[in-house]
Amino acid sequence: MLQEILVLPEIAEQLAELAELTDSEQSDRLYLERRVERAFYEAGKALMELRDRRLYRSTHKTFEEYCRDRFGYTRMAASYKIAAATVIDNLTTNGLQNEEMSTIGLQILPTSERQVRPLSKLEPSQQQQVWQAAVQEAGGKAPSGRVVTDVVQRIMERTKVPNTYQLSEVCQITVKDNPDLRGKGGCWGIVTHVGDYSCTVMTWDGEYTVRTDHLKSMNYTDSECQDMQSISTRINTIRNSDNLEEAADAVLKHLGKLKRPYLTGLEEKMLNLIEIECSTPS
């Protein structure tokens, strides 16, 4: 009983901390939250202007070199941010607003670059359609990048919208009705060629050209894609060796179905051992 009495002041203090905000404080909170949400958008708009006005020309020959030296961005990372800003402009220009889903009547807009990335290759009207569908699936909240990607995939299957995949992107193969992909379900691959409605991907045991509806983006960051590219190169170098044994092949097959963008410590040791064995003359 005494313990319960001692806890009461602490509970009262916690309740006091949850006190209602004043109108001014609520306004400040919404303003600051919007600034956080729009950070990636502001970065994309700034990069776009730096590129279009060539404001890098006094120190760098190319925009790519400038982004790398000044911000540590790769060409792909800078392109993603610029494309994301363009998508946000398209969504707001099209008057995307869903007051029924928002108690404060504000636009439900993307809050991260990853949410926007799957939309970047779609037409503005399609971007709006996909985003609204994704918001609905997320229960009236800003959806995750995975939800947006799933909606894009379904629409592509129905309407054959332009290919949204990009070179060096990491995707997972889904077999569906393609007998040529039997045994490849769940394998990840690096996109090496992008066609209108198909991609060529490098998997653990070779290249395959598949329709976009047989691929699913793993939504890895630019850095994670580079890490997976390194792993893919190592695996395919080993497979070209004349010393590859059946047990080693089984390990490579396992690595070819990873659902994460990194190797565990044990997996790294096993891959290193296979590399050493395959590089040693028989």
6 pLDDT exceeds 60? no
Does residue 152 sit within a domain? no
Retrieve residue 97's tokens: 């607003």
Residue closest to 116 by CA, chosen among 130, 98, 100, 95: 130
**94-108, 111-125, 202-216, 257-271: least confident range:** 94-108
Does residue 261 sit within a domain? yes
Does residue 108 sit within a domain? no
140 pLDDT exceeds 50? yes
Tally of domains in the chain: 1
Does residue 84 sit within a domain? no
Does residue 241 sit within a domain? yes
pTM of structure: 0.49
Residue written as tokens 């793993």? 218
| Helices 246-255 and 265-279, axial angle in degrees (round to 10) | 140
Enclosing domain of residue 241: 223-279
Q: Report, as an integer, the average pLDDT of 41-61.
A: 91
Distance CA 216, CA 185 (A): 11
**18-32, 45-59, 205-219: least confident range:** 18-32
Does residue 2 sit within a domain? no
Confidence (pLDDT) at 260: 93
CB atoms within 10 A of CB 210: 21
Does residue 59 sit within a domain? no
Retrieve residue 96's tokens: 């995307």
